[in-house]
Chain A
Amino acid sequence: MSALVLRAGRRSFRVERRTLWLSAILLGTILALGFVGLCYGGATWASPGEVLAALTGAADSVVIVEWRLPRVVAAMVFGCALGAAGAIFQTLTRNPLGSPDVIGLDAGAYTGALFAFTVLAGTSGQLAVSSVLGGLLVAALIYLLSLSNGLSGLRLVVIGIAVNAMLQALNSWIVLRADLEVAMAAGAWNAGSLNGVDWADLVLPLPILAGLLATLLVWFRPIQQSTLGDAVAATTGVGLDRLRLMMVLIGVGCTATVTAVAGPIAFIALAAPQIGRRLARTPGVALLPAALTGAVLLLTADLLAQMLLSPESLPVGVVTTAIGGCYLIWLLTQEVRRR
């Protein structure tokens, strides 16, 4: 048997051994990467001992606890949120292209940010508010346009792609007309970055994301059931309309919250579910593997973004796309070879 059954009286809980192992390994990797992230920053290394001392409170270290720790925590939680959001959207639309960055949420956030950059002063507060508003408006627009006699996944993707392309055209035009300096600042914001994230930035986002992810756990079983196709899902008791609205709300909530703090970090939502699913080989939605893979991706990317051109720090989105994409291509070549 490849499944592990935990029993408690007449109740039991069945998990696939492979999923369990994979989750444990991914979790271990996340913690290890997080620890490395605490050791390294600003082109200097701290010894593991110093980090442990700082974490346990045995020694005071502003650098580790106030600068590096929030950044590492942000990378972990944001990675999970983006991976989960991607898994939700790809399940909802039954299409690997149905991730938030493909269907226009990121482009909408960028439009909002460009507004803040070109019309307002471009402060971080304005950026957060206008980018979230941009993303939410686009999400609502796509959702409403996709509604007609229920929500169809494919229709949502196609309309998302259409809206995305229009927004991209608009965005690149604004960039074209803007001063070079403003344009470059906007371009850097659009690449997404965890530079300078501190605890104050995370006070609101962390509880919001925790709440969203917890809600997601509660809804996990109906989401999984929905992968049997609309007809079977409905006749086995899934309220599809309510479920879909719920999924959209959670997915958009996760994406928008991350974007408000770190900008649109591209590609994790698209790649993490695909990578996670291939690693776990679970049927339907591999929600947990997707979330954990997202965290691993973002942590790795953030470390590399700091190291590659140190002491300069690259926008993390540049690295997420590069390594996530390379890994996905590698996985795909492996699949080709196996057949």
Chain B
Amino acid sequence: MTTRLRARELTLSYGERVVSTKLSLDVPDGAFTAIVGPNACGKSTLLRAFVRLLRPAAGTVSLDDQQIAAYGSKALARSVGFLPQDPLAPDDIKVRQLVARGRFPHQSLLSMWSQEDEEAVTEAMETAGVSELADRPVQELSGGQRQRAWVAMVLAQRTPYLLLDEPTSFLDITHQYRLLTLLARLRDEGRTVVAVLHDINQACRFADHLVAMKEGRIIAEGAAADIVDAALLKEVFDLPCVVVPDPVTETPMVVPTHFDDP
């Protein structure tokens, strides 16, 4: 597997509070990478370092052997798209307008709206399934629709890399699976997808590459079938469980047992 996006020896901190030290991760190209771990294990922080929202105290993140710190704002935004956990849409913005904002890195200060912009927006809305909502205000949408509108915005950015921070939270189970299926399809079309996911079973089913984190460190990474077992779950989540094959996809499926301490 080739990698173009990689983190080397990162020290990540918010002010005085150090989240991670010596953290390294190679993001496999053209694959779906899922990062899992308990709350506050530093998985979102790692994602934020990959999109330069957090400047590492030490270490580097590089894309195509060039440090991302050296990229221009728009150049990086044409390569790496990011959806934060709970993005906030401005008042009164309509879905189409929101999606069109994803074209920002492809425009110069004075350039006008081009045919390519228009195509990218239409395609993104179709892919994310929000074409019918184009003229609806984002505020009035349901949680699932709103999340898909935001995904469409990131898709309109047309970046080879797509990083998403817990994109399935607040969605019902159908919308969760639809969104993950959409991400898998984008992977099939050649994009590299990295998502922080809450649900280990969904991560096992959809991800090609699983990264398990705890307390700012990567405990294990690799294909789900190779790394997910009861011992790992115990170590990362402190969850007693059995791991059985998923009846549909044969990927590992985690079934919790009983806690020792009731």
Q: Which residues of A contact B (CB under 8 A)?
A: 1-2, 8, 10-14, 218-219, 221-222, 224-225, 227-232, 234-239, 281-284
Contacts and interface: CB of A to CB of B under 8 A. Distances in A.
Contacts of A235: 51-53, 77, 80-82, 84
Interface string B4-18: 000000000000000
Interface of A is mostly: mixed
B76 interface: yes
Contact of B112 (A1, A11, A222, A224): A11
Interface in B103-149: 104-105, 107, 109-115, 118, 135
A118 B45 CA distance: 56
Contacts of B74: 237
Contacts of B52: 234-235
**Most chain B beta-carbon neighbours within 10 Å: one of A11, A222, A225, A235:** A235
B146 to A, nearest CB: 14
A207 to B, nearest CB: 21
Interface in B68-89: 72-78, 80-84, 87-89
Contacts of A222: 104, 109
B90 A234 contact: no
B81 A229 contact: no
Given A218-B110, A221-B104, A282-B92, A232 B78 contact: no
Contacts of B105: 236-237
Contact of A229 (B72, B75, B87): B87
Contacts of A232: 82-84, 87, 153
**Most chain A beta-carbon neighbours within 10 Å: one of B78, B109, B111, B157:** B109
A224 B112 CA distance: 15
Interface of B: 48, 51-53, 72-78, 80-84, 87-94, 97, 101-102, 104-105, 107, 109-115, 118, 135, 153, 157
Contacts of B75: 237
A224 B72 CA distance: 19
A232 B102 CA distance: 9
Nearest to A284: B90
A237 B92 contact: no
Contacts of A12: 112-115, 118
**Most chain A beta-carbon neighbours within 10 Å: one of B84, B90, B91:** B90
A228 B87 contact: yes
Contacts of B153: 232
Contacts of A221: 104, 107, 109
B109 A237 contact: no
24 contacts: A10-B114, A10-B115, A11-B112, A11-B113, A11-B114, A13-B112, A13-B113, A218-B109, A221-B104, A221-B109, A222-B109, A224-B101, A225-B101, A228-B88, A229-B84, A232-B84, A232-B87, A235-B53, A235-B82, A237-B76, A238-B104, A239-B72, A283-B89, A283-B91
A273 to B, nearest CB: 13
B88 A283 contact: no
Contact of A283 (B90, B115, B157): B90
Contacts of A11: 111-115
Contacts of A2: 135
**Most chain B beta-carbon neighbours within 10 Å: one of A12, A228, A230:** A228
A283 B94 contact: yes
B73 to A, nearest CB: 4
Contacts of A219: 109
A229 B135 contact: no
Contacts of A282: 92
A237 B114 contact: no
B104 A225 contact: yes
Nearest to A12: B113
